Amino acid sequence: MSQKDHATVSGRQIAAARALTGMGQTDLASAASISVPTLKRMEASDGPAAGMANNVRAVISVLETAGIEFIPENGGGAGVRFRERKSADPILGAP
């Protein structure tokens, strides 16, 4: 998902992506140059992430840089996952 699609990312997806990366709210907020209360409001959104578009885009950008892919609603439900690794992963043994 591109950063321009910020309106389709839900607060729950942001919370799930943050948990998947192991980042704390303070770390993510700092990396995105927003306040922790702003991130908390964003993550608490039931629908599209609440907040100013530039703040939502900043959070999405940090998470995408950390390897997260946002999966849009496609009949099976929206979600998040790590992007496919392009090179060999010696820990997982993946090609």
Assigned domain for 43 exists: yes
User: Rounded to two decimals, what is the model's pTM?
Assistant: 0.82
Assigned domain for 82 exists: no
Number of domains making up the chain: 1
Enter the DSSP assignment of 48: B
Tokens of 82: 């790590």
Residue 16 belongs to what H/E stretch? helix 11-21
Q: What is the pLDDT of residue 6?
A: 62
Q: Are strands 68-71 and 79-82 parallel, antiparallel or unpaired?
A: antiparallel
- Residues with Cβ < 8 Å from 92, sequence gap 6 or more? none
Q: Which domain does 41 fall in, by range? A: 3-77
| Mean pLDDT, contiguous 10-residue spans, the chain (95 residues) | 64 96 97 98 94 96 96 86 71 51
Assigned domain for 61 exists: yes
